[in-house]
Each structure stands twice: as structure tokens, then as C-alpha cells.
Chain A
């Protein structure tokens, strides 16, 4: 389930999107932008798979589920990593240092992909 951009107000839509883009570029550190690029890539991959499933076939359903949930799972794990290393969330994650967050991310991804490969069949 990839989060969709919420519908912007019809009147000042270009304004809002532009200001959003601007403040994003200004406020986000390179590290987070790198993660965001990865997230964007995962989202595209997931969308491509979903479109293929809808338009062509879902025949090896386990293969579709494995592929799709690997993108979704990787997406949410990366998004978790993003929110854990985000300096703004520092007071929420008192016990999770960025290094620890990355180790958690790696472990979660390994477990996830173990199940993905097992389920591909």
C-alpha cells in the first residue's frame, strides 16, 4: 500500500505543491533525500508490478505477492529508517541511534527477503 499524495486544493494547488517542493529542498538533509529517492524507486517498482498484475495476469499469484510485498515491505522498512534517522524525531526515538536504526533496517530486510525468496517458489 503505497501512500498516495492527498488531493491538493483546487484553487491554489500549483502554489502549494511548489511551496512544498521548495521547503522540502530547503529543509531536508542529503541523507534523507537519498532515502527518499530509494522510496520513490520502490514505489515506482510496486506500481509497475501492480499494473502488470491488473492488466496482464496475476497467474502465479504467489510470485506476484512475493514481488509486490517485497517492494511494499522494503518501502515501509526504509520509511521506518527514514523516520528513525530524521533529526526531527530525535526525542521520539530516544533509544534508537542512527547506527542502530540502520542495523535494524538491515536485519528486517534480510528477514523479509528470506521470506520473499521462500515464497517465490
Chain B
């Protein structure tokens, strides 16, 4: 066998194996280091702080768990959220994340390393990303070999699609969920390969951890049964499949019901019925196999086959019937909107209003995955070519996750591991082919004296294709140069991938949304810290029981940073309550005021970006408030009223009356025109429209606080007038305006 380059021959296999395992360990350590380091941009550039909205609740809950213990957390009734209602936190939260960081907290404190709980929360995601890299390595090792595993680990360590949800400070469920996802899948593949109940049990335990950590566990609950079902349909039923699936399902389902938030869902809802159905089917198939082993009659085997099929169909009908009768709950809106993509927008505006629930555009696939998105299909095709049982899993995973990632931006996260695995398989096949020094045997060609060159190969290849009758040219790669070209290219792509990932991470995904960064003309960084300014004002200058009303986006942050009760927050479990807030924001003052008083609201907080051009403010979210309120009070709030007759959404002179009179508009533009000296040059820099010269006046609210850049504005709700007048006429009176004659006599008599 000729070789393209010589290999050392005097090395013992033991040395090779030892060196390889040492290199693997070093590579994994470096990958972990890279995964952690590339997530620290936000901490180094800004500070060690929790980002975004949801993590603030997780952080707050973790503080409770760490300081008061698990049982207090388990039974925690949070009276300050959803103000009049309160929230049973223990039963409405996935406690895995908090439990994990509190375990770390206790371990570190037991070791006399008194680390602040905030730092554990901030750095949990980078730590777990290193574990994710390791789990992906193990998973890919089952698919191909250890070298593909290392590539996959390197990919997932730095790929932006995963970094986007796991930078330091992003203390969200996804931080640990992706590790659990990959590890559960690894255990499942291992259980299936070996037919071992041990790995099935481990998969079930990690599945339990995953259920406790993230609502996306439904993905696992449907992926594994789907895999098993496809294997059965392909005629690949084995006893190993039975052992792996049964042990996983029996233990995993019971375990998943221990999480209070999940409760009886695994036996009651449609999302979990695939798993149950496949479990039943597997029992039937296994039983039929057992019977078959005792009988030989051909006829009876056929009959058995048909009886299995009929039982399967009957079982399906039973499920359909049960769902139809209402014994099994149908798909919840959140999952249903994945299939019927127009559903959420029509019926549940609150789901459609979240920006992460929009369909994904092509550029974001490229931005999040760069070259992996090209290698991904190649990897899937390579899986098809070998098609062992575990390859079927990757193929199903790829198909399902691609669809989901196309429907919803945030599900890019579940696609990313699969992309990394498939790309690593493709890339390592490429490297395997081109690094392998073996050359095909060529019948010696007298003309060029045995020196095969690229031209020869091309000539041979073309000769082979153009003249099918000609001698069959040997297939393979000749020479070192051809190898070098390909390998150089491949490594060039990898290098670009690293640069791309670092660039995307540092530029796009490493900004804490609590602190806004802008740059001065000289290039230095200017930090806009209005959020915390306002939240700390609330924290220090208001009574501890002051209820703050804001749009639900800011509920968790207010509870976390300002430590005040809120009306609604990011856990959108009560749509009517949110619609109430939306109605108050979208109504004129006279209508909104009784709503505010009835809910004991003391302060109203709004976000306004018109002064510095911060686009994610409440006026841009205003239409969603209107829509959500309209869903509950269709005859009081109508979306078209907030548009101009031409159908434009405007805030300037031409804005519609309903818009100008709405509480949100008044609070937003209160005194805004004065800021520009009343010159009529007051321009809203987000909408790029001039606001009216005479700004709106507020009768029922007082401006309490406006942050430095006017991003956060806080209004205090006035108490009822001492004399029993309505506040509008009281204001008019105190400003010396004459009461109109047509008005009824003052209501002073009302108070006795």
C-alpha cells in the first residue's frame, strides 16, 4: 500500500493510545477554557450583573432558596408579584436552575470559599457551557468517533447560537438545560446501543433533572419516542430498544411527575401522549416477538403481525377519542402555535407579542452558526449513508429541530447542538479522508514512471466518466499536494469560524440589557444606566408596600432591583390581569384612574426611549397592550382607534384622539416638548416625528421621577380629592380656570 507521507513505524500501539488520550484530555480542557472565556465579555466590559428580564426572577428565587432553605422555597408564596393575587412560586416554577446554583453555593461555603450568590448565578451559565461541550463530545463519540466528538465539542463551545443564551449573567433555564438535553440524549443512545437498563435509568434521572430545569423537556419527551417509533417502523425492533425505552419511560415519567409545576401533565396532556403510545406499542411488539419465538407456523406469524397493527391503530383511536372527550388535554397554545403558525397572532396575542416567538430569518441562521449551517446537511447525509440506530436519532433530531428553529427564533437554541454534531461528523469525515496517508494501488503507468499527479487523477477520473468502457481508474486521493489544499482550506474555514464566533459574541450577544452602552464621539464608552437609577429611586424613596404598575416586561426587574410589589410580570400566567394593565395604559385618564385605584396602584412606571433613540420602549410596545386589552374588552378598546384615518401609527399632531388621550401617550410625552424649550422642535428620536408643541397634561397622576436620559419615567397616582371632586375639575380649579357652566354642581354634597 503506497502512502502519501511516511508514518513512524517504531511506535508501540500503547504509546499511540496514551498520547491520543492525553491529547483528548488537553483538547477538552482547552475547549472548556475557550467556552468559559468567550462568555465573559459582558462581565469584563461591564460588570458582574444579571442580564435581561427572566433571569431577575431566577436570581431572586435563588436568593430565597440559598438564604431560607429548600422547604421555604418549595412552599414560597410570593405575595408581592401579581399584586392582588400573589403567586405560588413553588408550584409554578422549574426549580432545577435555582437548586443547582444553591447546591454550588452550599458546596463553596462548606469549603470556606464564601462566594456571593450573585456571582454564582452570573457564572453558572459559562460553567455549564463547559459541561455541555463535554456532553456533546460524548454524544458525538457515539455517532462517529472521538475525533468527531472533539470537533463537536469545540463547535458547541463557541458557537454563537448557544452563546446567545448562555453568556455570563444570563441566568436563565437554558443555561443548564442544553447540557441536560445533550447528556440525556447521550444516555439514551448509550442505553439503546448496549441494551442496558443502567443507562436507561441514568437517562431517566437526567430527564428528571431536565424536567425540573426547563419547559423544553417536552422536546425530549417527544424526540425519544419518535426515535423508537421510527426504529419500529423501519423493522429495527430489538430487545435492546425495548430495554432502553421501557426503563427510560417507566422511571422517567414517574420522576417527571414529581416536579410540582408538571404535576399530572405526563398522563393528561397531548404533548406527552406520543411517549405513552410508543410505550404501549413497544409492549405489544415485544410480546408478539416473544410469542413468535415459541411458534413456527407461518400463518400464525402473519396473523400476529396483523393483530399488532390493529392494536396499534386501535390504540391511536383510543387516544383520539380520549382527547376528543376531554380526558386528555389538547395541545396548549404555546406548543400548538408551533404547528399552526398563525394561531398565536390570532388568538393569543401575548404569545405573539414576544419578539423571540417570531419566525427566523436566513441571516440569523448564518450569524448564529456560520459555516456549520453549510456542513450540517452534509453531516445529515453522511448519517444516512451509514444509518445505524443512533444515526436515525440524529436525522430525526435534525429534521424536527430545523423545523422548530425555522418557526421560532428562540428554538434556534435546540437546533444548535444537533448542527454541531452533524457538522462535526461531516468535517471529521473530510479530515479522515484527506489526512489518511493511504493511496490506492495504481497499476504502474510506464509514461510518468509511477509519479501520480493531480492531472493524472483528473484525467483518470474524466476518462472514467466519459468512457465507461475504459479501464476502471482507481478511486482515491493521490499525493500530498491535493491533501494539503483541502486541509489548508478546511483549517482556514475553522479559523474564520473562530473569528466569526468571537466577533458575534463580543458585538451582538454580550450586552446586559440593564445597562445600555453607547459610544462618545471620541470612541470612548458611555454607559446609560437609567434603569438602575430609576429602580433604585423606587427602592429608596417609596414605602415598601408601594405597588408599581408597569407593562409585564419589567415586572421581574422591578421585583428584583426595586423590590416593590408589581401588578404583572414576565410569568404571563394570568392574561386577564395583563389585559387590565393594558386597558389602563390604553384608556383615557378618567377610565384608567378607577382601575389604578381599584388595584391599589401607587406608582406607574413606563419606559420612554424618544430622547436618546432607545427603540424598545413602551410606545413601540403600545400596540400589543392595545391588542391584549382588546382581546378581553373588545367593545372598550379597539386597535383601529389608535391609528390615523390613513392607518398610520403616529404620535405627532396627526395622531388619533384615542392615542392622544391614552394614559400611555400622556405619561410618555408629559413635559417632553418643554425639554426643547417649547420651540416646537421636540422630536421623538425613535419615531422620528415631532411631538405637538403643547404637550399633554395629566390630571390624575403626578410625575414622581424621570431618569437622566428620560428612559424610565415614574408617575405617582394621586389620591382622591379631599373635597370629593373629580381630579380633573379639581386641577382646573386650582389652576384658576373657570368651571364651565354646563358642568353639574360640584359633588361636595356627595361626602357626608
Interface size on B, residues (CB 8 A): 45
Q: Does the CB pair A95–B196 fall under 8 Å? A: yes
Which residues of the partner chain A approach B201 to less than 8 Å between Cβ atoms? 104, 107-108, 111
Q: Kindly list chain A residues whose C-beta atoms are within 8 Å of the C-beta of B307.
A: 6-7
Interface string of B284-313 (1 = CB under 8 A from A): 101110010111010010011001100100
Does B257 make an interface contact (CB < 8 A)? yes
Could you say which residues of chain B place their CB within 8 Å of the CB of A44?
Answer: none
Query: Cβ of A79 and Cβ of B286 under 8 Å apart?
Result: yes
Are the CB atoms of B205 and A92 closer together than 8 Å?
A: no
Residues B304 and A73 in contact, CB atoms below 8 Å apart: no
State the CA gap A96–B193 with chains docked (Å). 11
- Report if B357 contacts A (CB, 8 A): no
A73 interface neighbour in B238, B239, B254, B303, Cβ under 8 Å = B254
A95 to B193, CA, bound (A): 10
Contact for A24 among B238, B249, B294, CB less than 8 A? B294
CB–CB B294/A108 < 8 A: no
Tell me which residues from 410 to 452 in chain B have a Cβ below 8 Å from any Cβ of chain A.
none
Which of A1, A6, A92, A116 is in CB contact (< 8 Å) with B195?
A92
Residues of B within 8 Å of A119, CB to CB, are 254, 257-258
Neighbouring A residues of B204 by C-beta, 8 Å: 111
* B200 at the A interface (CB under 8 A): yes
Q: Is A16 on the interface with B (CB-CB < 8 A)?
A: yes
Interface string of B211-253 (1 = CB under 8 A from A): 0000000000000000000000000001110110011011101
Question: A76 an interface residue at 8 Å Cβ cutoff?
Answer: yes
With beta carbons under 8 angstroms apart, the residue of B194, B197, B304 that contacts A77 is B197
CB-CB under 8 A from A50, the residues of chain B are none
Quick one: CB contact mask for B179-196 with A, threshold 8 Å, 1 for yes? 000000000000000111
Cβ–Cβ < 8 Å partners of A69 in chain B: 250, 253-254
Please, what's the 1-or-0 string for B43-73, where 1 marks a CB less than 8 Å from any CB in chain A? 0000000000000000000000000000000
Q: Say yes or no: is A51 at the interface (Cβ < 8 Å to chain B).
A: no
Determine whether B279 belongs to the interface, using a CB cutoff of 8 Å to chain A: yes
A57 to B295, CA, bound (A): 41
Min CB distance A118 to B, Å, is: 6
Given the known inter-chain contacts A9-B300, A66-B254, A79-B286, please indicate yes or no for A96 contacting B293, CB distance below 8 A: no
Which among B201, B255, B258 has the greatest number of chain A C-beta atoms within 10 A? B201
CB of B299 to closest CB in A, whole Å = 8
Give the CA-CA distance A5 to B300 in the complex, in Å. Answer: 14
A45 at the interface (CB under 8 A from B): no
Query: Are B295's CB and A23's CB within 8 A?
Result: yes
Using A77-B247, A105-B197 as known contacts, say yes or no to A2 and B288 having CB atoms under 8 A apart.
no
Task: Decide: B243 and A80 in contact? CB cutoff 8 A.
Answer: yes
Q: Are A6 and B250 in contact (CB under 8 A)?
A: no
B251 touches A80 (CB 8 A): no
In the complex, which of the residues B197, B198, B283, B297 contacts A2, with contact meaning CB atoms closer than 8 Å?
B283
- For residue B264, CB closer than 8 A to chain A, the reply is yes
Q: Which residues of B contact A77 (CB under 8 A)?
A: 197, 246-247, 250
* Nearest CB in chain A to that of B253: its residue: A69
**Which chain B residue shows the least CB distance to A7?**
B307
- Please tell me if A89 contacts chain B, counting CB pairs below 8 Å: yes
Q: Determine if B267 is an interface residue (Cβ-Cβ < 8 Å).
A: yes
How distant is the Cα of A14 from the Cα of B258 in the complex, in angstroms?
46
Chain A 78-114: CB-based contact to B (< 8 A → 1; otherwise 0):
0111011010110011011000110111011001100
Name the distance in Å between A12's Cβ and chain B's nearest Cβ: 9
B280 at the interface (CB under 8 A from A): yes
Query: Taking CB as reference atom, which chain B residue is nearest A22?
Result: B294
**In the bound complex, what is the Cα–Cα distance between A84 and B244 (angstroms)?**
11
Q: Which residue of A lies closest to B267 (CB)?
A: A65
A61 within 8 Å of B (CB atoms): yes
CA distance A3 to B46 in the complex (A): 61
CA distance A70 to B200 in the complex (A): 16
Given A24-B294, A65-B267, A80-B247 contact (CB < 8 Å): yes
Contact of B197 among A80, A89, A95, A116 (CB under 8 A): A80
B239 and A89 form a contact (CB under 8 A): yes
- Partner among B200, B257, B288, B294 whose Cβ is within 8 Å of the Cβ of A6: B288
Q: Is the CB of B240 within 8 A of A108?
A: no
Q: List 23 A-B contacts (CB under 8 A).
A: A1-B276, A1-B279, A3-B286, A6-B304, A20-B291, A27-B294, A61-B264, A65-B264, A66-B254, A76-B247, A77-B197, A80-B246, A81-B197, A83-B239, A83-B286, A84-B195, A84-B197, A89-B239, A93-B194, A93-B240, A103-B198, A104-B198, A118-B258
8 nearest CB pairs, A to B? A73-B250, A76-B246, A3-B287, A104-B197, A6-B307, A80-B243, A83-B239, A1-B280
Beyond A6-B308, A19-B295, A93-B240: 8 further Cβ-contacts under 8 Å? A1-B283, A6-B284, A20-B294, A24-B294, A62-B257, A77-B197, A112-B254, A119-B257
